[in-house]
């Protein structure tokens, strides 16, 4: 794990920001902020405050996933949309230039007027139709004018497991209504927030090695569809997967943009050409149907998403978070959903709570009998969590996986029985809550040395770990008994 790169992420609570918190973690230290952050100012409606935040954090990368995206509402709030979409990116660009940092900024297909049927290229002249498009275009222009080390990714029709988007709206409506009317003359590519976040994480090291590739790129899924085709696909797939859908295929009727009352004009042609992105970075965007199918398979984002790690049985659980002006709500765990998504029928019998100071390292612990499955959650702070496979005859025996968990990310780590577990605290303090599938039996507890060279676990090396006497005297991996898989 690299901890030398410092990444400042704005817009952490949006559907893209949530995915970026996941995808950026392996690249270094991520400082994720949103409008309600208390430690640093991140309110884009007051953009002058952002310079102070950048100067305090001193990041290597600034990732701007914050935006005013209420297209119709922007027509009545042009000043607010301008502050968030134009002024704020310009200030971030100027601060990035002053620091010698990189700025990665996201923009939109709405910078074009939607004429014709040819996919828009990066060199085509923008001509936005509405306030949202005009402010996003000005944001692009301010970034280019103020910063030499920038990447702008224009994208379209973004959806994800978090927040509000077209796919989830259709899923809701299809379960409560018997007919739907959807626009069929606007064409574009539904693009997964998860893919955009993964693309971002892939591009950062590439740009560091080849800074000449800085610039503006179109980043959307492959293929095209209309909003009507999009809705039909989502609902048809949901029905195949057993969702309680009331709407039949023939019940989704078409309407034109002119028939659909909206406060702002939309471009009819939102196709974006990704030739430049593919040629520069060798990245092939997935078909637009791929990400949608995956989202539906994992519960449509309504409860949780399950992501395998490099050891497939060790899973990252990401809940869907519902935000409003009071705060937020999420289901941190749902046994039925977990069973549906993983096939694992888990039963927890004990819950443990740990409070630890910075650099405290606990582990690697396991029970040779009554092996415990664990669901790890950070309530406060940030840790580096490690699971080591000690299941004899497992294809990954002796392999480990490390995951950074933080309270803000709300992610949890599922570690199945037959693994040794340990963590190191990266923040000033951390509170960890973990559920177990079997009780604690001290007579069966074993410990493997945290820094065994045969394992070569990539702990954060800038800190000297604080260990208990027991953990200082653990056996090496080669001398430790393995768990016999039953």
Which one of 132, 159, 162, 477 is the catalytic residue? 132
Distance between CA atoms of residues 25 and 1, nearest Å: 9
Compute CA distances 445 → 363, 384, 385, 470, whole Å: 11, 22, 19, 11
Measuring CA to CA, which residue among 185, 125, 174, 428 is closest to residue 300?
Answer: 174
CA 469 distance to own-chain centroid: 38
Question: Is 366 a known active-site residue?
Answer: no
Measuring CA to CA, which residue among 23, 18, 257, 26 is closest to residue 129?
Answer: 257
Concatenated DSSP letters for 312-353? TTSEEEEE-EEEETTEEEE-S--HHHHHHHH-------EEEE
SS3 assignment, position 455: coil
**How many other C-beta atoms lie within 10 A of the C-beta of residue 265?**
16
Show the 3-state SS of 74-96. HCCCHHHHHHHHHHHHHHHHHHH
Distance between CA atoms of residues 313 and 420, nearest Å: 13
Burial class (CB in 10 A: 0-12, 13-18, 19+), 48: exposed
SS3 assignment, position 423: strand
**Look-up of token digits 């740009």:** 207
Two tokens, residue 233: 């696909």
Distance between CA atoms of residues 171 and 177, nearest Å: 10
**Look-up of token digits 């999420």:** 330
User: How would you classify the pairing of strands 321-324 and 327-330?
Assistant: antiparallel
Cβ neighbors of 288 (< 8 A, separation 6 or more) are 189, 190, 191, 221, 222, 223, 224, 225
Distance between CA atoms of residues 88 and 139, nearest Å: 8
**How many other C-beta atoms lie within 10 A of the C-beta of residue 357?**
12
**Helices within 31-130 (DSSP H only):** 49-57, 71-74, 78-82, 88-99
Query: Hey, which residues does 475 pair with through a beta bridge?
Result: 448
Active-site residues, by number, are 132
């Amino acid at each position: 794990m690299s901890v030398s790169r410092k990444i400042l992420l704005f817009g952490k609570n949006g559907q893209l920001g949530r995915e970026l918190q996941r995808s950026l973690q392996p690249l270094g230290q991520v400082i994720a902020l949103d409008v309600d952050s208390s430690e640093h100012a991140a309110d884009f409606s007051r953009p002058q405050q952002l310079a102070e935040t950048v100067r305090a954090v001193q990041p290597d990368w600034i990732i701007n996933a914050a935006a005013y995206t209420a297209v119709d509402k922007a027509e009545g709030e042009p000043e607010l949309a301008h502050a968030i979409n134009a002024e704020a990116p310009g200030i971030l660009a100027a601060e990035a230039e002053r620091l010698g940092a990189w700025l990665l900024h996201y923009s939109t297909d709405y910078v074009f007027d939607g004429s014709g049927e040819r996919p828009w290229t990066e060199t085509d002249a923008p001509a936005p139709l509405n306030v949202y498009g005009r402010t996003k275009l000005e944001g692009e222009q301010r970034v280019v004018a103020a910063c030499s080390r920038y990447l702008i990714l224009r994208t379209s029709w973004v959806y994800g497991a978090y927040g509000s988007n077209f796919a989830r709206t259709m899923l809701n409506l299809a379960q409560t209504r018997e007919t739907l009317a959807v626009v069929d003359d606007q064409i574009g590519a539904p693009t997964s927030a998860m893919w955009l976040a993964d693309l971002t994480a892939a591009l950062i090291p590439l740009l560091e090695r080849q800074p000449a590739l800085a610039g503006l790129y179109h980043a959307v899924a492959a293929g095209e569809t209309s909003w009507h085709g999009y809705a039909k696909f989502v609902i048809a797939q949901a029905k195949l997967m057993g969702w309680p859908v009331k709407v039949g295929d023939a019940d989704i009727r078409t309407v034109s943009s002119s028939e659909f009352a909206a406060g702002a004009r939309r471009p009819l042609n939102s196709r974006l050409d990704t030739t430049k992105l593919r040629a520069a970075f060798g990245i092939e965007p997935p078909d637009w149907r791929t990400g949608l199918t995956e989202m539906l398979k994992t519960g449509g984002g309504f409860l949780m998403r399950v992501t395998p790690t490099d050891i497939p049985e060790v899973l990252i659980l990401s809940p869907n978070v519902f935000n409003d002006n009071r705060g937020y709500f999420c289901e941190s765990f749902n046994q039925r959903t977990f069973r549906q998504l993983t096939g694992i029928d888990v039963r927890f019998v004990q819950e443990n709570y740990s409070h630890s100071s910075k650099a405290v390292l606990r582990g690697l612990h396991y029970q040779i009998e009554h092996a415990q499955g664990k669901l790890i959650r950070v309530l406060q702070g940030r840790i580096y969590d490690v699971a080591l496979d000690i299941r004899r005859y497992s294809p990954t025996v002796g392999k480990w996986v490390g995951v950074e968990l933080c309270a803000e990310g709300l992610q949890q780590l599922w570690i199945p029985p037959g693994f040794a577990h340990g963590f190191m605290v990266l923040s000033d303090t951390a509170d960890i809550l973990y559920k177990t599938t079997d009780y604690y039996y001290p007579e069966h507890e074993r410990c493997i040395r945290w820094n065994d060279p045969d394992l070569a676990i990539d702990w954060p090396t800038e800190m000297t770990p604080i260990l208990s006497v027991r953990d200082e005297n653990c056996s090496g991996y080669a001398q430790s008994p393995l768990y016999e898989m039953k």
